[in-house]
Amino acid sequence: MTEQKLLILFGSQTGTAQDTAERIGREAKRRHFQCRVEALDSYEVANLINELLVVFVCATTGQGDPPDNMKMFWRFLFRKNLPPSSLCQLDYAVLGLGDSSYPKFNFVAKKLHKRVLQLGGNPLLPVALGDDQHDLGPDAVVDPWLQALWDKILALYPLPPGLEIISPDVRLPPKYTLHYLAEDSPHPDGGLLQPTAPRTVPSELHPFPARMVSNQRVTAESHFQDVRLIEFDVVASGITFNAGDVVMIQPQNCPEDVQQFCQLLHLDPDRRFVLKPTEPGTSLPALLPQPCTIRYLVTHYLDISCVPRRSFFELLSYFSTNELEREKLQEFSSAQGQEELYSYCNRPRRTTLEALWDFPHTTCAIPPDYLLDLIPRIRPRAFSIASSMLAHPDRIQILMAVVQYKTRLSKPRRGLCSTWLASLNPEQGDVRVPLWVKKGGMKFPADPDTPVIMIGPGTGVAPFRAAIQERVAQGRRGNCLFFGCRQKSKDFYCQAEWEELVTKGFLTLFTAFSRDQEEKVYVQHRIRENRRLVWELLSSGSAHVYLAG
């Protein structure tokens, strides 16, 4: 008896849509569907005309934009020359994940649903609009919608006689099995970040190991916030960029956390293994070398510092040998327990590693095979590039605030990427950081006579430093910058650079130091004070206005 096929395609920016897609995949397996879960851009889109049953799960980013891993699919789907009956054999459903505080709420899901309908698809249900703003998060919409979806799918594609839905009490097999290698098996040279071949432009799958040149604190030692100006050498990388572009950096976990994780789970960090997919056709994780050490897996791949999701607690509950822990884990993974889970995890920003500490009996029983199902991979972080290639050839600079804040937990919360980057000291040897460049959302005017008004408080000034350097190198003068920070003596980034450009006539600079006087002064006050100049630039100069926070 051949299993009914179901394809689940996702477009995800932060991992929530992928997590939801994988949840639907698990539910499909319980209903005996042969199921594939793939990112939209990993899927060969021309094959869509042969599919019979597809569930799309997609997030909306920025101002109604599709996530990065569905941009190619998006362009293909909206081609004018696709026949209106292309997808007439397709039964489909679209689940959107968005945030109703944005004007283009779930724009991508709504537009996708409409477009597949135009191309002849048969919608199983109206589009689902998950909302981050809801008290229970997107699950408030997702849970009942999925229930209705399975009712609909099983009515159209009933289970073969004699087959029952696999009970939620039964643990599904892992996506991969982990095969340890004998201690004395030969070590191939691999596993470390290899410089990419010059022919490939660096990308997420082939990052460039850039040498860190300098890591300089640009706030006063007495200032509460540590902000760094960091420079990377990208010579011979093939990387090019313009002002407004973004550098993506792949961070790693700190050695103390890696050691703690291995101790908690009784893992030997130096053991080597290879991964084997449980089901044929499942591809191996692209960024993991084979063979690999446990230390490499935990350092570079498993996001043990992220706030765990509901699916983490659901899978964890299957390993629990302790009744009290299992009951709590099941509560956290139930629809009714979402408010309590939010208070336990999201509000205090508790990490995956800290959650594992709280369930010690369960944690030491986690089979290593399930590590990649349980913990998502570390996502790259985006930084506005703060320099121009015209001013600094073969270099990329970023202006980065080190993220640290308090919640009700005793230990301060720390940003994974900024804490890691801040800890690196290029004066103590060769420091390499995996990175690649992405087009940014800001485009500066091509016409040299168009003036530019830039409003960049704090580290928001980063892309404007790149733009000003680029424009000055091209001899353009109409640069107007409104910069704001707390105190002139403590966090006035790049002060000497701005003042030199003012002296040379390349820059008009307005500053707002909010704490340097009794009443607080912000950039909006300076804009109001200089409204005549701003209006003149806008009305007669057709100035472009840019704002970054």
Instruction: For 213-241, give the secondary structure using H, E and C.
Output: EEEEECCCCCCCCCEEEEEEECCCCCCCC
**pLDDT value for 488:** 96
The predicted structure's pLDDT at residue 195: 47
Contacts of residue 221, defined as CB under 8 A and 6 or more positions apart, other chains included, come to: none
What's the pLDDT band for 107 if we cut at 50, 70, 90? very high
183 pLDDT band, cuts 50/70/90, is confident
Instruction: Give the per-residue pLDDT at 392.
Output: 97
Residue 189 has pLDDT above 60, yes or no: no
Q: Is 170 a member of any domain?
A: no
Residues 328 and 266 in one domain: yes
Q: Say what the pLDDT of residue 199 is.
A: 63
- Sheet of 395-401: strand order equals 381-384, 246-249, 432-438, 208-217, 227-233, 395-401
Cα 524 from Cα 480, distance rounded (Å) = 14
Mean pLDDT of 312-337: 96
pLDDT tens-digit series, residues 471-515: 999 999 999 999 999 999 999 999 999 999 999 999 999 999 999
**320 and 456 both lie in a single domain:** no
Answer for the pair 452, 544: CB distance below 8 angstroms, yes or no. Answer: yes
The per-residue pLDDT for 2 is: 62
At 544, phi and psi to the nearest 5?
A: -95, 140
Identity of the residue numbered 15: G
Residues 132-161, mean pLDDT to the nearest whole number: 93
User: Are residues 71 and 216 both part of a single domain?
Assistant: no
What is the token pair recorded at 284? 């191996």
Residues 31 and 142 in one domain: yes
Which residues, in sequence order, are CB contacts of 316 under 8 Å at separation 6+? 329, 359, 362, 366, 374
Does residue 384 share a domain with residue 362? no
338, 353, 374 - which closes a domain: 374
> Dmax over Cα atoms in the chain, in whole Å?
84
Q: Which domain holds residue 139?
A: 5-156
What are 433-449's pLDDT values in tens digits? 999 999 998 999 998 88
3 state SS for 431-464: CEEEEEEECCCCCCCCCCCCCEEEECCHHHHHHH
Residue 426 counted as domain residue = yes
Q: Is the pLDDT of residue 297 over 60?
A: yes
Clarify whether residues 461 and 394 are in a common domain: no
Give the pLDDT score at 307. 97
Specify which residues 395 forms β-bridges with.
Answer: 233
Instruction: Render 266-299 in DSSP notation, one character per residue.
Output: T--TT-EEEEEESSTTPPPPTTS-SSEEHHHHHH
Q: Quick one: the chain helix, strand, coil %, rounded to 5?
A: 35, 20, 45
* CB atoms near residue 439 (< 10 Å): 11
Q: Which tokens go with 71?
A: 């941009």
| Residue 256 clears pLDDT 50, i.e. is over it | yes
Q: Residue 57 pLDDT > 50, yes or no?
A: yes
How big is the chain, counted in residues?
Answer: 549
Exposed, middle or buried: residue 26 (CB in 10 Å: 0-12, 13-18, 19+)?
A: middle
CATH number of the domain at 477, please: 3.40.50.80
Structurally, the chain folds into a number of domains equal to 4
Residue 63 pLDDT level (bands cut at 50, 70, 90)? confident
Q: Are residues 474 and 327 in the same domain?
A: no
CA pair distance 259, 156, nearest whole angstrom: 50
Looking at the domain assignment, is residue 180 inside a domain?
A: no
Structure confidence at residue 364 (pLDDT): 96
* pLDDT at residue 191 in the model: 45
Q: Based on the fold, state whether residues 44 and 141 are members of the same structural domain.
A: yes
Measured CA to CA, the distance from residue 467 to residue 469 in angstroms comes to 6
Report if residue 165 sits inside a domain: no
Is there a domain that residue 190 lies in?
Answer: no
Q: What is the DSSP letter of 333?
A: T
33 plus 147 within the same structural domain: yes
CATH code of the domain containing 103: 3.40.50.360
Count CA atoms closer than 13 A to 251's CA, side-chain side.
Answer: 23
Q: Same domain, yes or no, for 401 and 477?
A: no
Q: Does 134 lie in the same domain as 12? A: yes
Q: Is residue 174 part of a domain?
A: no
Same domain, 228 and 297: no
pLDDT attached to residue 335: 87
- Cβ-proximal residues to 306 (8 Å cutoff; 6+ apart), any chain: 351, 352, 376, 416
**Residue at 195 is within a domain:** no
DSSP state, residue 252: -
What percent of the chain clears pLDDT 90, i.e. is strictly above it? 90
Q: Give the CA angle between residues 293, 297, 302 to the nearest 5°.
A: 165
CATH number of the domain where residue 226 is located? 2.40.30.10
Domain ends where: 140, 156, 172? 156
Q: Tell me, yes or no, whether 196 lies in a domain.
A: no
Q: What is the mean pLDDT of the chain?
A: 94
- Domain end (from 343, 374, 405): 374
